[in-house]
Amino acid sequence: MPDHLVPSARARAVVHGAYDTHVHVAPDVMARRIDDVDLAHRCAEVGLAGFVLKSHYVATAERAAVVRKVVPDVDVLGAITLNGAMGGINPVAVEVAARQGARIVWMPTVDSGNQRRSTATDLPGATPAMWGAFQSDLHSQGIVPDPVEVVDAEGRVLDRVRQVLRVIARHDVTLATGHLSGAEIAAVVRAAGEEGVRRIVVTHPEFTSQRLTPARQRELAEAGALLERCFTTPHSGKVDWADLFATIRSVGVAHSVLSSDLGQPFNPPVEDGLALFADRLFDAGFTEDEIHVMAVVNSRRLVTPAGTTPV
Question: CA 258 to CA 282: how far, in whole Å?
Answer: 14
Q: What is the pLDDT of residue 5?
A: 87
User: Looking at domain 9-121+138-277+284-303, which of 3.40.1390.30, 3.90.1150.170, 3.20.20.140, 3.30.70.2860 is its CATH number?
Assistant: 3.20.20.140
Q: What is the pLDDT of residue 1?
A: 45
- In sequence order, what are the beta bridge partners of 228? 257
Cis amide leading into 27 (omega within 30): yes
Among the residues of 110-158, which ranges form H helices? 113-117, 131-140
Question: CA 158 to CA 126: how far, in whole Å?
Answer: 34
Cβ neighbours for 137, distance < 8 A, ≥ 6 positions apart: none
SS3 state of residue 71: coil
Q: Going residue by residue through the chain (311 aa), what tens digit of pLDDT does each one get? A: 467 889 999 999 999 999 999 999 999 999 999 999 999 999 999 999 999 999 999 999 999 999 999 999 999 999 999 999 999 999 999 999 999 999 999 999 999 999 999 999 999 999 999 999 999 999 999 999 999 999 999 999 999 999 999 999 999 999 999 999 999 999 999 999 999 999 999 999 999 999 999 999 999 999 999 999 999 999 999 999 999 999 999 999 999 999 999 999 999 999 999 999 999 999 999 999 999 999 999 999 999 875 455 55
Backbone phi, psi, residue 249, to 5°: -65, -40
Domain ranges of the chain: 9-121+138-277+284-303
* Predicted model pTM: 0.96
Q: What is the pLDDT of residue 308?
A: 56
